Structure 1
Amino acid sequence: MRQPHSERLSDILKRLGENGNPDMTLGDIIKALGERGFGALILLFAAPNLIPLPPGSSFVFGVPLVFITAQLMIKQDKIWLPKRLNDARMGGGRLLHLLQRLVPYVVKVEKLLKPRGTLLTSAFGERLAGLAGLFCAIVLLLPIFGANMAPALALCCFALGLIEQDEIAMLAGWLGTFATVVILALLYLFGTAIFAFLSNWITP
């Protein structure tokens, strides 16, 4: 298990959110986050899906999450993003506004989290979390009504668990992943039943 960080994530997010540099890119944010990069970026792109968003927004946030979680799964040391994403300017944009909105909530959650546990926060546990996170990120890409909340919550829990090395937060992420599977199964069964009903009703 890694040692706890000397600077809290909330302090970094606050500093970034107050940065009005119009030339600041997503790559600059990744550098500022340092070794917290995976967890912090997952949190940053997953959290917006917990609130009502315009149609198509989950796809916009889901694409970076696919790249990030896939690299966490293969235990890549540094985050790589396509040049177009890496060079995307964040200064004065929605992402920086989101950073500022996230800070109060992150401060509250940080008080509950602490480094604990060795299984779910081990290197192998983090790779498994990357696999589950990739699944949740793919679900966010799909235009499935009512299926965004659970995977987004799972991703946020995984992110906080990675950042603070907290096994309980990681466990919550796995529970959120399980809930996502259950919701998808129920939606599939419901959709199949509706399709069968309509087929029988339309067919003479």
Structure 2
Amino acid sequence: MSPAGSSSFRRSLRRRGGIRQKRISAILRGFSHQNRAEPTIGELSLAFDTRAFGAFFILFGGLNLVPLPPGASLFFGIPLILFTFQLAIGRHRLWLPQRVRQMRLSPDKIALLMAKIGPWLRRIERLARHRYWPMPERLLLSAVGWYCFVMAVLVTIPFPFTNMMPGVSIAIAGVAISTRDGLWLLAALLVGIAAVAVLTGVYGAALFAILHFV
């Protein structure tokens, strides 16, 4: 079947009632309503279903853009380490320990996140599609997992404003693995490289200042 015929076939299936997955941004927007109870991580995982890895990368990576009290990056960084490590070692389905499953996220925080990244996320979701995705996929996803694991470790470091760029890189990687889009994966890597360069300068300057006064 030609690409044009395949595309028409998919459209016809949707017209006949075929199920089309909701966008991750739409799911998050549904959990941001103030009149609903605080959702648990377990409830979010069920809503994201097979896209849980990508969705949680977007959610917990993107939350680093929301103004938070000092030390809050640990709260988001530790679950990110858990999620990214599982992808790195080759798990196909996300496993959540009971304690993490029961963790709750405030709808207000999700609403703040969607106000911050919602327009960009919806625009990216419209642009993202399956393209330039290297094979074999299993090795690629493992490599992406290890890369995001390093970014997650950087997120957890309790240094003001240094968690944002690694968090953004993880969020973009989440979009990439959710849609199997090689271009957005490249964008995630570029942001991550920039983050490492910036953080090296920040931590280097801080260490120099400490040694100067010792």
Task: Give the TM-score category using the shorter length.
Answer: 0.7 to 0.9
Structure 2: runs of 5+ lacking an equivalent: 1-9, 11-18
Equivalent in the alignment of 2:40: 25
1:41 to 31, 46, 56: 56
Q: TM-score, normalised by structure 1?
A: 0.82
Distance 1:193 1:174 in 2: 28
Equivalent in the alignment of 1:202: none
Judged with a 3 Å threshold, the aligned counterparts in structure 2 of structure 1 residues 185 and 19 are, in CA distance, closer, same or farther, namely closer
1:105 to 120, 136, 143: 120
Distance 1:167 1:191 in 2: 36
SS at structure 2 position matched to 1:17: coil
Shift of 1:88: 2.5
- The farther-off stretch of 12-21 and 63-72 is 12-21
Judged with a 3 Å threshold, the aligned counterparts in structure 2 of structure 1 residues 121 and 12 are, in CA distance, closer, same or farther, namely farther
Query: Which letter does structure 2 place at the counterpart of 1:36?
Result: R
Query: Which letter does structure 2 place at the counterpart of 1:22?
Result: A
1:194 aligns to 2:209 (yes or no): yes
CA contact (8 A) 2:88 2:141 kept: yes
1:124 to 139, 162, 165: 139
Distance 1:59 1:149 in 2: 13
CA contact (8 A) 1:121 1:165 kept: no
Structure 1: runs of 5+ lacking an equivalent: 200-204
1:6 to 17, 20, 44: 20
RMSD (Å) for aligned C-alpha atoms: 2.6
**What are the residue-to-residue correspondences of 1:56-135 with 2, within 5 Å?**
56-90=71-105, 93-98=107-112, 100-101=114-115, 102-119=117-134, 122-135=137-150
Distance 2:59 2:108 in 1: 11
SS at structure 2 position matched to 1:194: helix
CA contact (8 A) 1:136 1:152 kept: yes
Judged with a 3 Å threshold, the aligned counterparts in structure 2 of structure 1 residues 23 and 182 are, in CA distance, closer, same or farther, namely closer
Distance 2:158 2:130 in 1: 36
SS at structure 2 position matched to 1:111: helix
The CA deviation string for residues 108-149 of structure 1, in whole angstroms up to 9 with x for no partner, is 221221111122893222211111111111111111234212
Segments ≥4 residues shifted beyond 6 Å: none
Equivalent in the alignment of 2:66: 51
Query: Which letter does structure 2 place at the counterpart of 1:109?
Result: I
Distance 2:156 2:168 in 1: 15
Query: Which letter does structure 1 place at the counterpart of 2:54?
Result: G
Q: TM-score, normalised by structure 2?
A: 0.79
- The farther-off stretch of 75-84 and 8-17 is 8-17
The CA deviation string for residues 27-64 of structure 1, in whole angstroms up to 9 with x for no partner, is 12101101110000111111121233221221111111
Query: Which letter does structure 1 place at the counterpart of 2:96?
Result: L
Q: Give the total of aligned pairs.
A: 195
- The farther-off stretch of 4-13 and 57-66 is 4-13
The CA deviation string for residues 46-103 of structure 1, in whole angstroms up to 9 with x for no partner, is 112123322122111111111100111112122122211102244x644543565454
Distance 1:178 1:133 in 2: 12
